[in-house]
Each structure stands twice: as C-alpha cells, then as structure tokens.
Structure 1
Amino acid sequence: MKFSATFIIGFLLANVMAEMTIIEKHRCEQYTSIFENDTTELQYSYCENIFDGRGYTSGRAGFCTGCGDALNVIIHYTAYKPNNPLAKFIPILKRLSIGNGNINQLNGYCEAWKQASNDYLFRQFQDYINDLLYYVPAMNGAKRMNITTALGKCSLYDTIIQHGGGNDNDSFDAILNRTKIQMNGPVTGKNNEPKWIEKFLEIRKNVLLMPKNNAYRSSWSKTTDRVNFLLQLVRQNNWNMDQLPIRVKTRYHDQTIYS
C-alpha cells in the first residue's frame, strides 16, 4: 500500500528531529517496554484496563482510550484501511478522548485492538504516532535543556511515555519545567548533566508518589522502581547505555537488555 506525501513527510520529520542514534533508541525502547509490558519486545497487541483513570491502555506505547492517543492511531489507520475492527469505536472514542476513562461502551475494544495488531500497517501507525506524540517531543525537550547523553534522553523519553505530554501538573513538560527552575536553568555543561538528570528523576519519582490527579496515585505509586533503576544507571555512569548487558532487576521485573 502506498503512503500519502503527508504521511511520509511527517514520518521523516519525526526521524530527522530525533537525536538518539538507532542503537540508543532501540535500547531505550527496550527499557520502556520492560516497565510497560515486562518484556524487551514492543507489545503492539497489548490491551487492558490498568485502572489509572485513563480507560483502556493499549499498544506499544500504552495508548489510552481516555487521553486521545489511541484515537489518533485508529483514525490514521482507518484513513488507509477503512474496513478494520477498530473503526466502529471512533465515535465513542472522540467523546472519551478528552479525559474520560469510562470503558462501559467499549465492549470488544481489546479484542479488536489485538486483531488489528496482526496487520503490519497498524503496527506502523503505532510507531508513527509514538514518535510524533512522544519520541520527538522528548528529544526536543532534551535539546532545549542541552541534554546530550543517551541516558539523559532516555530518561526524558521514558517519562513522557508514562506521564504524557499534556499541560497538567503531572505531565512530562511540568516535570521538565520544575527541574529547570530548581536547577536554575537548563544543563550548563558536561559536568552539570548528571546532577540535572538526577534532579529530574527525583522530581518525577515524587510525582509518581504524590500526583496532583488522585486517579493516578494507586497505580503510579507502585511504579517507582522504573525511576529507581534509571537513577541506578546514573550512579553507575552508564551514560551511553553501552555497558551491556543491562539487567533490569527490580521488585516487579527481571529482564535483560543485550543489544
């Protein structure tokens, strides 16, 4: 199937703007996948209600029915393949995507998502929306804050995947801005980046423990191991994420990044 010029240009822009190497991005995505799905393999067919107030969480990046990114994937996919098992959910998802975590009218959604994930085109659109909404904004944030290391950039990417890129007080941008304020500006040099990233992760951990949105508190408070392990990599000076293998052993996970 041929892609439109708009799709191709958008996808190329996402990759041109990215600042991690292919290998670094691969390792970072493995890290994030461990905490999203307990495996280093991206889980395109994943779908469940994790009771975080965002409805169903699905796909490689945890696209949610209550926050618009799942709808974004489905709309793009449906534009190229109208007869797909998820198209029928678009009207209700448009109503839910403004922050409504209700799943009562989404019977069969997870089954439809898993069925669609057998289609390579649907997996491509998951990659595209992930880069558009999360990877590129994270790398742009790294650029604004003068972050140059693979571990620093991965810390930002993992944060936006979990916290989202919205404007609320628990979001990636809020954490990034609070770090900038507490550190009196962006990273000022090579020697300053470790302290800056450590502060960023500490602020993120506090958000997980005490989010402004109480709907997140129960689920997020159990995920601090995700940040603790990044802090461990900081203290090990594994800034290029090239001290392999990286065994990610925490309270809930035990997976290894080999390459």
Structure 2
Amino acid sequence: MITDAQKKKIIQIVNVMETGTPEGKYDQVTLLADGKGGVKQITYGRSQATEQGNLKNIIERYVNAGGKFAANFEPYLPKIGKQSLVNDDEFKRLLKVSAQQDPIMHDAQDATFEILYYVPATHFFNAEGFTLPLSMLVIYDSFIHSGGVPAVVRARFPEKTPANGGDEKAWVTAYTKARQDWLANHPKKAVRPSVYRTKSYLVAIQQDNWMLAQPLNAHGVIVP
C-alpha cells in the first residue's frame, strides 16, 4: 500500500519531470510537435495535459466549477481537441492567467490528473500485484507521459508482473529499460528527449531506492 507521504513524493517527482519543479507549474503553456502526425499542440499545466488529449477535461472542470475566467473559456470548449489552438494567443493567455490568478484552476488540474491518471495507475499497480513505491512511480509516470503502460513496450521483454508469477523488481527494471529504448527511438522526434525520465528511474533502481526513502534525482532536481 502506498502511503500519503509516498504518494506526495511520487507526484512531486512526476511534476519535476513535467515542469521542472516539485510543486508543478500550473501556468506552464508549452508548444510541442508531439500531436497526431507530428503536429504542434498545446500542453498545459502541472502535468502538461495535451490539446489533443485531456486539456478539454481540465477546462470543462474549471468552467463547471465557476472559475473566475469561466465565461472567457466557454466559447473555446467546442474547439479544444477539434481544431488547433496553437496560434490562438488569447486562449494561451487565458490558460496562463487563470492558473496565476484563480485557485480553482489549480483544483481543476489536480482533479483531472488524479482521476484520469493517478487512479488508473493505482488500479494497474494493484491489479498486477505491485507493492513498492518506486514501482508506483514508474507506472504513474508512464500513465502521465505515455497514456498508460503501452502494450508495444511490454512486448519487448519477457518478464511477468507479480500477479502473473513474476518478480516485481525484475519487471519494473525491464519495463523501464524497454520504455527508455522506445522513447529514444520514438517516431515523433519531440518525444525522444524525454528519456531523461527513464534515466532517472534507472538510477533510483541502481541505488535500490525502492521505498523512495532516499532523495531522488529527478532530471537534476533533488526531491528529498
């Protein structure tokens, strides 16, 4: 079972991987060529929700909660994920200013990342028989960054999950190495530099930091 303190550290580490700080940059707006067909898209917030992914969920949640800029965002709801907003300066301004000035935007982001990423990651973690905090970190990071635990990566190594009679540490190590190779050679060039994530986790594995009791170097940021 993952304790509240361990969950907090796991989220802080993934926040660093996404926006460079343990607290997460709720107002960060990034344009990356990692959309369908390699097109640019907006990524936003503490864990960088994508324009073609769950950005709309955050904005809908914010509008429904009556955020300070809800009326400004409403006209954009039918557009998000349907047409590119990369060049819409007003939309990008609203993303930044809402996170800077309205705590409701923080709440909307936290709820979205919890419900759509952490809860499914926890389900996979429990269903497959994992128990160690570093395993949960690797799994949650994969859900945030890769949308889950991709079958294409799992097919690259023979180890089984604990629920299927495998060794937990062996599976997590093999998965992290396979994911690193997959990211490094990803067809979308914008994805390839993200191997800093798996490199950090492989160091933690080498340090036997399975309980996350030691500080973890997350891409140059030490999370105690």
1-structure distance, mates of 2:94, 2:162: 45
Call closer, same or farther: CA 1:208–1:125 in 2, change over 3 Å.
Answer: same
2-structure distance, mates of 1:175, 1:24: 29
- Aligned equivalent of 2:88: 106
Q: How does 1:118-133 map to 2 (within 5 A)?
A: 118-133=101-116
2-structure distance, mates of 1:72, 1:197: 30
- Structure 2 residue matching 1:92: 3-state secondary structure: coil
8 Å CA contact 1:92, 1:105 repeated in 2: no
Report percent identity of matched pairs: 21
1-structure distance, mates of 2:189, 2:122: 29
Call closer, same or farther: CA 1:104–1:158 in 2, change over 3 Å.
Answer: closer
**Structure 2 unmatched ranges of 5 or more:** none
Aligned counterpart in structure 2 of residue 93 of structure 1, from 67, 75, 80: 80
2-structure distance, mates of 1:88, 1:126: 20
2-structure distance, mates of 1:190, 1:104: 47
Q: Does 1:247 align with 2:217?
A: yes
8 Å CA contact 1:48, 1:110 repeated in 2: no
Aligned counterpart in structure 2 of residue 80 of structure 1, from 65, 68, 78: 65
Deviations 1:115-155 (A, max 9, x none): 11121122111111101110011111111221100000110
Aligned counterpart in structure 1 of residue 129 of structure 2, from 138, 146, 153: 146
> Residue type matched to 2:5 in 1?
I
8 Å CA contact 2:133, 2:211 repeated in 1: yes
8 Å CA contact 1:50, 1:57 repeated in 2: yes
Aligned residues: 217
8 Å CA contact 2:51, 2:81 repeated in 1: no
Q: Does 1:231 align with 2:202?
A: yes
> Residue type matched to 1:231 in 2?
L
Q: Does 1:48 align with 2:30?
A: yes
2-structure distance, mates of 1:247, 1:73: 29
2-structure distance, mates of 1:144, 1:151: 16
Deviations 1:65-124 (A, max 9, x none): 112x1101111211221752322211111524xxxxx33563322210111112112211
1:176 is displaced (CA, Å) by: 6.9
2-structure distance, mates of 1:204, 1:127: 26
- Aligned equivalent of 1:208: 183
2-structure distance, mates of 1:50, 1:35: 15
2-structure distance, mates of 1:152, 1:93: 34
1-structure distance, mates of 2:13, 2:220: 11
Q: TM-score, normalised by structure 2?
A: 0.87
8 Å CA contact 2:33, 2:41 repeated in 1: yes
- Structure 2 residue matching 1:199: 3-state secondary structure: helix
1:206 is displaced (CA, Å) by: 2.1
